[in-house]
Structure 1
Amino acid sequence: MDEAGCLPVIVEGDWGTSVTKTVKNKLHIYFQSRKKSGGGECRVEAEDGAQRAAVFFESDEARQRVLARDDHHVTLGNQTVKLRLISTGSVTSDDASDIGPAGGDVEATDSPVAFAPPAFAPPADAGSQLKPT
C-alpha cells in the first residue's frame, strides 16, 4: 500500500475504553468490503484506549465511496456500533490520533494543512493573446 497516496479517514465509535485487536479486525473487515462499506483495500491503525481509529485506503476512489455513504456500523459481540467518520485534510498516520472529535457522521476538518488551491498560472497560449499597445 502506498502510505503517501491516500489520506486517512478517522473513524469514531462507542466500542468501549480499549481498542482491542478484535475491534481493529472488525473495522478492517468492514472497510475492506466494498459491499458493506463501499471501501476496498485498506489498513487500520488505532491506539489502545482511543475511541477512534485511522483507516488508510489503498485508493482514493475507495475512500470517496466510503465517505459518500451516510450510514456505517459494525457489530461487536451482541452490540451494533454506529460509526462516525471524519474526512481528514493532509495528515500523516502519526497525526491521526490528534484529530478532534467528530461533530457529525461525516465531517471535513478545518486543518491549516488541508488542501490549498494551486498557484495561479496563465494559460499555456496566453502569450499569443497579448498584443503590444
Structure 2
Amino acid sequence: MSNTQQSDDQQWREQLTPDEFRICRQKGTEPPFTGIYCDEKAAGIYHCKCCHQPLFDASTKYDSGSGWPSFYAASDEHAIEEHLDTSHGMRRTEITCAHCRSHLGHLFDDGPEPTGLRYCVNSASLRLEPY
C-alpha cells in the first residue's frame, strides 16, 4: 500500500464509522434488511456518505424486496460509475460514486419501468437530505 493510500485511508477512517469505512472504502456490504434507509419513505435526495455528491432522488426509490434501498434511476447520468465485479464467484456490476469512488452497491437489470434497472445500494453509503 502506498503512503498516499495510507494517508487517504486514515482520512476516511476519521470521517466514517468503522462499518461505513468497511462498506464505502473496502467494498463491503451490510446485511439485508438492516440499513437505516431500507424502509425509508421520506422525500429528498440521497447523497454519497463520503463526499455528499447527489446520487438518487427519493422519487425513484422502490421496495425491491432485496433488503437494501433500491432505486430505478440515478439522479444524474454522471453521478455513478459502473465497474465489472467478479468477486464471490459472480459477475456483477458494481456502482461507485463518480466523484470519490465510494462503493455504493450493485446494479441489476431486474428493476421496474421506466428503466428496468435496480440500483441496489447500501444504506451506509448514503445520507438522505429531505426536501
Q: What TM-score does the superposition give when structure 1 sets the normalisation length? A: 0.31
Structure of larger gyration radius: 1
TM-score of the aligned structures, taking structure 2 as reference length? 0.32
